[in-house]
Amino acid sequence: MKLNQFACALAASLGMIGAAQAAVVSSQSYTESGGLRTGSSLYPIGTAGSAGVGVNGVLLGVKAAVSHFDTLGYTNAYGVIDFSGKQIVADGKAPGVWPADHSGLGVWAIKKVGAQDVWFGEWDKEGAAQGSKAAGAHTVFYVGEKGNAASTLPAGTATYTVRTINNYAADSALPVSTLTAEFGSRKVSSAGDINFANGSIDAAKASFTATGASVVSSGGTGGLVKGDFFGTGAAGVAGTVKFQDRNQDVAFGGTKN
């Protein structure tokens, strides 16, 4: 009952402040019952409307600001927020004002794109043991405040140093690629860990797609690329590469050089 009342209060708050929030865009490789959800956050109220993540059926399905998880002490030296729901419970870091079961939140690895409210990462259902991953649920994603990227796209060519997340190993550096955006010809390509050529930029949406991608770190080939540019002058980028084997799917993100 208390959870339902709390959710109603949050929804009412959003009704008053929603119009003032920046547009949040997101994408994820799978949307399944009991799985990952991305979009505008509802919790904490002070950051409502920012980039958010949640899990269907867990904590009323409320999306929390990704920045909230960045304050819990799980961000490592490589800037990766690496945690699980059972770990949060074991460490006593579930919010005391909302003492619901956080153990079903799953296993996460998330990284921020520069200084923007833009994030990319992966999610898995958690197994019986803390930090273990249940089979068949690996999902990659990105979510962030779009900003004015579409109205401020550069006219020329820009390169981005991007990093890849796939089946993240604790306290490890992320593989690196160079993504090249040719805004004049509306083409995008990547070399390094992620490799593809002749991708297409949708200038109206400041987004891009490509086919036939390969990722060295995951072993995937023939993947589908989906991504977005973020911020003034397309200062940041984030995306996913999806393969036939979902365990090879990756998320990526980075900033303009």
pLDDT digits (tens, 9 = 90+) for 77-115: 999 999 999 999 999 888 655 556 789 999 999 999 999
Could you tell me the CATH number of the domain that includes residue 230? Answer: 2.40.160.90
Q: Which of 102, 118, 145 is the last residue of a domain?
A: 145
Q: Which of 119, 145, 171 is the last residue of a domain?
A: 145
32 and 103 fall within a common domain: yes
CA–CA gap between residue 126 and residue 137 (Å, rounded): 9
84 and 171 fall within a common domain: no
For the chain, the domain total comes to: 2
CA–CA gap between residue 192 and residue 211 (Å, rounded): 16
Q: In what order do the strands lie in the sheet with 64-65?
A: 36-40, 51-55, 64-65
11 and 121 fall within a common domain: yes
Question: What element of type H or E holds 200?
Answer: strand 194-202
Residue 78: give the domain boundaries.
2-15+23-145
Per-residue confidence (pLDDT) for residue 1, from 0 to 100: 42
Q: Round to the nearest angstrom and report the end-to-end CA distance of the chain.
A: 51
Q: Is 194 helix (H, G, I), strand (E, B) or coil?
A: strand
Look up tokens 């991953």; give the residue.
133
217 and 247 fall within a common domain: yes
132 and 41 fall within a common domain: yes
210 and 236 fall within a common domain: yes
For the ranges 1-5, 21-25, 59-63, 119-123, the maximum mean pLDDT occurs at 119-123
CA-based nearest residue to 50, from 41, 62, 61: 41
Is residue 78 within 8 A of residue 99, CB to CB? The reply is: no
Cα 6 to its chain centre, rounded Å, is 26
203 and 185 fall within a common domain: yes
Answer whether 0.75 is exceeded by the pTM: yes
35 and 137 fall within a common domain: yes
Type of residue found at 43: Y
97 and 160 fall within a common domain: no
**19-64 tens-digit pLDDT:** 445 699 999 999 999 999 999 999 988 889 999 999 999 988 999 9
pLDDT above 70 for 178: yes
* Per-residue tokens: 37: 């959800």
CA–CA gap between residue 63 and residue 42 (Å, rounded): 6
* Per-residue tokens: 127: 């197994």
252 and 133 fall within a common domain: no
